[in-house]
Amino acid sequence: MGPRLSHHWVRVALAISAVAGAALGLSACSAQQANNPDVVAGKVLFVQKCGACHTLSRAQTKGVVGPNLDEAFQQSIKDGLGRSGIRGAVHGWILHPNSQSVMPAKLVTGEDAYDVASYVAESVAKPGKDTGLLATAVKPAGAGKPAVEKAGTLQIDADPNGQTAYVTNKATGTAGEITVKMNNKSGVQHDIVIDGKGKGQIVANGGTSQFKADFQPGTYTFYCSVDGHRQAGMQGKLTVK
């Protein structure tokens, strides 16, 4: 939702935008939306659209391109900024990001923007974990079954829902020539890389990233080289026997 800033200036910017953002957010949304935000949908959209860039503990996102939202709001909450003020600030930030931001304006709009803002406001800088429907709204990143090489091809797809993860963080293969292949159905750009073996192209929206290399028995790390994605946890282990 914006470039990385010092925590001090993030807090200043958010505090200033809270008043204007709250007014903008409430004027742009119906009374029904204001009273009945869908925070479950908001969490799903936040993970898909924002998690690659932002850390939010309760959403289990670890993006590092933009501000850590828990840290950004922590002091403001201590200083008395209410959850409704955070909701307004985030909603305004989504629709009208800073002109120097790497985040495109209106990444989500309408009810979706309000749902995302409501989830962030409810969750940010709050200890513990989500419960109830929120706890199961998004599958844990990389929790799929290990990928297994078949006939010389090892397919490790990107998470189709936009999480900064592959569908699994474990893979196995047999020594010899292997084509490492990743399909990416999401709109978030990803690739797949193994140092010393190869680097697939960066793709999105149904693209395929792949490379071919000869593998000796051993353990290898596969990861996404897009800025901040490996740091956010998009990596795994390949065991070749």
Nearest C-alpha neighbor of 44 from the set 59, 62, 54? 59
Least confident segment among 25-34, 92-101, 153-162:
25-34
More confident residue, 156 or 106: 156
Rg of the chain over all Cα atoms, to the nearest angstrom: 20
The yes-or-no verdict on residue 58 having pLDDT over 50 is: yes
Nearest C-alpha neighbor of 73 from the set 61, 57, 49? 57
Q: Which two tokens stand for residue 150?
A: 């078949």
Neighbouring-strand partners of residue 113: none
Note the pLDDT of residue 34: 55
Note the pLDDT of residue 1: 53
Sign of CA dihedral 40, 43, 47, 49: positive
Q: Residues spanned by CATH 2.60.40.420 within the chain?
A: 147-240
Q: Residues spanned by CATH 1.10.760.10 within the chain?
A: 7-136
Contacts of 153 (CB under 8 A, 6+ apart): 178, 179, 181
More confident residue, 233 or 172: 172
The predicted-structure confidence for 22-36, as pLDDT tens digits, reads as follows 434 444 444 445 568
Q: pLDDT class for 141, splitting at 50, 70, 90?
A: confident
Q: Which two tokens stand for residue 235?
A: 């990596």
Q: How far is CA 193 from CA 29, 176, 224, in A?
A: 43, 18, 6
Q: End-to-end distance of the chain based on CA atoms, in angstroms? A: 43
Domain 147-240 is of which CATH architecture? Sandwich (2.60)
Residue type, 53: C
Contacts of 157 (CB under 8 A, 6+ apart): 166, 167, 182, 183, 184, 185
What's the rounded Cα separation, in Å, for the pair 50 and 47? 6
Q: Which two tokens stand for residue 34?
A: 């204001």
Provide the whole-model pTM: 0.72
Note the pLDDT of residue 35: 64
Mean pLDDT across the stretch 179-202? Answer: 96
Note the pLDDT of residue 139: 81
Note the pLDDT of residue 5: 38
Note the pLDDT of residue 36: 87
- CATH class, range 7-136: mainly alpha
The yes-or-no verdict on residue 6 having pLDDT over 50 is: no
Q: Which two tokens stand for residue 81?
A: 């900024």
Percent of the chain with pLDDT over 70: 85
Note the pLDDT of residue 63: 84
